[in-house]
Structure 1
Amino acid sequence: MSTFNVTKVKITNRGCCCPERFNGAEIRIGNIPEDGGTQNTICVKIESLGRGKEGEYVCGMVGRYVTITIPGRIEYLTLCEVKVYGNNVSEGYAVTQLGADVPSKTNLTGRHFLFPKESITDYIVLTPAQPMRLNSFTLCMNLALNVSENRETILFTYRTLYYDALTLWQELNGNVGFYMSGEGIMFPNLDKCNTWNHICLTWESEHGSCELWVNGRRTGTKLYRKNSTVQPGGTVILGQDYDSYNGGFDEKQSFVGKIKDLNMWNKVLSLRSIRSVFRGKVKQKGDIFDWSDLSYSIKGNVKLV
């Protein structure tokens, strides 16, 4: 049996009766056949789906089995239709996300993405190397903004079906705002004297500790979203912010400028490691995103320079 990169699953709920039976359903993907595949990793937990409605759930996960189950309940789960989309791993395709073509996978060392102007069409879809189920992370990148004062600018966004699960902004007042599914926290402005600003954002769930590092210096420590988890099954993009799962871009919030050296780990890096990353001496390859081996898809007029 072949292994597939499962990019998305489409489900149509029954239209005749009892649509509430689907509430709380889980889509699981993996290579474990025992127990009907219920030991495999969760792509998404679905809150509800209306009578006769179709839901589309992006996974970007590798496996041979796709299981839809309603855990902890003994009742029938009847669906009208299930469609699974993916690519055979043996054919050499990379995992794709919503809005992406088959992505390029490239060593981008020494190169950068250029976003030349305000738009609703220019962005990059990033494909994570593993599902974005995170209890901690470190996100680092180099930014050269080319925007006016008093303008919101999206720096990084990860959106699931229902939430902006992880977004990083330059706010109207210049502060850096970090949001996970709701009210966010603020850090001081980026250094306007520098053409490039290197930022690293760290967060861990156990204590809710969150830090922003700018150009190798810690700008502050906050407590935020203790005991939370970033859920998988969404889409990561650079250049735009999703107002809804399928789009809703605002050109006045779009990124204008340059981005390079984006790396992301599923843990909080040590102080020494963060400073090494700032100096361009990345010793630990990113578990989620690695600039030297990045899977991405360019949309619109973004240039790779």
Structure 2
Amino acid sequence: LRSALLLVQILECDDVILLDGGQDLGKMLVFPQETNTAHVRLTPSRQNLGAVTVCMRYFSDLTRPFTFFGLATPSYNNDFHIFKMPARDEINVDVRNIVLNFKGQDYQLNRWQSVCGTWDAASGLVQLWVDGKPSSMKFSTESNISGPMIIVLGQDQDSYGGSFDSGRSFVGMISDVHMWDYVLPPHHINNYRRKFTFPPGNVLNWNLIEFQIVGKVLIQEEQHL
């Protein structure tokens, strides 16, 4: 790992690796096999959100359903959830367990792609971006996301922090996960896609992030994206 921005202590207990304090991950997470256990928990800096943008990069050859990103609270297991559907061109974004289906998304196998999801409680509007290509906007809810949050990469939370299903697990690589408490403007989403300058996430910042690895998840040098 690159030099940590804050002191990092690494503690190992069975198959759990805890990293206390924020650090510059600067690399990619590798999920090498289908399991119902291996995942990464990310620690957010907020517990009440009136808007959300999540952006991440992924590389996979999966053709079955899987979860890109899952945020759960005790009241809603899919409080903010980005999920790949069986149809190749369909991705769901769920907010407060309200499911929205977006079609026409250009999901590709064995290629680095970016995916961003946005939602704003002021309007209730949700939008999905894949490789900088926007979806139509759809209405979800005007209710804030609040409560103790569990954010998971690699598994689908069918209950708060658990009930994982190997058939919905992610297999592949993930990098550059950022989350904001506002709707990121389109030009910054485009900058993110092109790896130009953009404001780092203020809820999750890949360059200064707290996380916990459970099971077989590896940290590897970032490949050329």
State the one-letter code of the partner of 1:296.
F
Confirm whether residue 154 of structure 1 aligns to residue 67 of structure 2.
Answer: yes
The equivalent of 2:172 in structure 1 is: 257
Matched residues in 2 for 1:291 and 1:138: separation? 14
State the one-letter code of the partner of 1:108.
L
For this pair of structures, how many residues does the alignment match? 205
The equivalent of 1:233 in structure 2 is: 148
Specify every segment of 5 or more residues in structure 1 that has no aligned partner in the other structure, as ranges: 1-90, 94-98
1:142 equivalent among 54, 57, 82: 57
Tell me the alpha carbon deviations over residues 81-121 of structure 1, each in whole angstroms, 9 at most, x when there is no partner.
xxxxxxxxxx998xxxxx98453632123x21000010012
The equivalent of 1:96 in structure 2 is: none
2:76 equivalent among 160, 163, 178: 163
Tell me the alpha carbon deviations over residues 27-48 of structure 1, each in whole angstroms, 9 at most, x when there is no partner.
xxxxxxxxxxxxxxxxxxxxxx
Matched residues in 2 for 1:102 and 1:196: separation? 27
Matched residues in 2 for 1:238 and 1:279: separation? 23
User: TM-score of the superposition, structure 1-length normalised?
Assistant: 0.63
Specify every segment of 5 or more residues in structure 2 that has no aligned partner in the other structure, as ranges: 1-6, 10-15, 221-225
Matched residues in 1 for 2:109 and 2:67: separation? 20
Question: What SS does the corresponding residue of 1:260 show, helix, strand or coil?
Answer: strand
Matched residues in 1 for 2:109 and 2:39: separation? 26
Question: What SS does the corresponding residue of 1:262 show, helix, strand or coil?
Answer: strand
Matched residues in 2 for 1:232 and 1:277: separation? 29
Structure 1 stretches of 4+ moved >3 Å: 99-104
Shift of 1:234: 2.0
Q: Which has the larger radius of gyration?
A: 1
User: TM-score of the superposition, structure 2-length normalised?
Assistant: 0.84
CA contact (8 A) 1:132 1:288 kept: no
Shift of 1:154: 1.0
Confirm whether residue 118 of structure 1 aligns to residue 31 of structure 2.
Answer: no
Question: What SS does the corresponding residue of 1:259 show, helix, strand or coil?
Answer: strand
**TM-aligned CA distance change 1:92 to 1:172, over 3 Å:** closer
State the one-letter code of the partner of 2:162.
G
Matched residues in 1 for 2:96 and 2:124: separation? 14
CA contact (8 A) 1:144 1:257 kept: yes
CA contact (8 A) 1:132 1:233 kept: yes
Matched residues in 2 for 1:158 and 1:271: separation? 23
Q: Whose relative contact order is higher, 1 or 2, with alpha carbons under 8 Å and at least 6 apart?
A: 2
CA contact (8 A) 1:137 1:265 kept: yes
State the one-letter code of the partner of 2:113.
N
List aligned pairs for 1:11-22, cutoff 5 A: none
1:208 equivalent among 105, 124, 136: 124
Confirm whether residue 107 of structure 1 aligns to residue 24 of structure 2.
Answer: yes
List aligned pairs for 1:1-305, cutoff 5 A: 101-103=18-20, 105-109=22-26, 111-128=27-44, 130-147=45-62, 149=63, 151-164=64-77, 165-174=79-88, 175-188=90-103, 189-192=105-108, 195-225=111-141, 227-305=142-220
Shift of 1:190: 3.5
Shift of 1:137: 1.5
Matched residues in 2 for 1:261 and 1:126: separation? 13
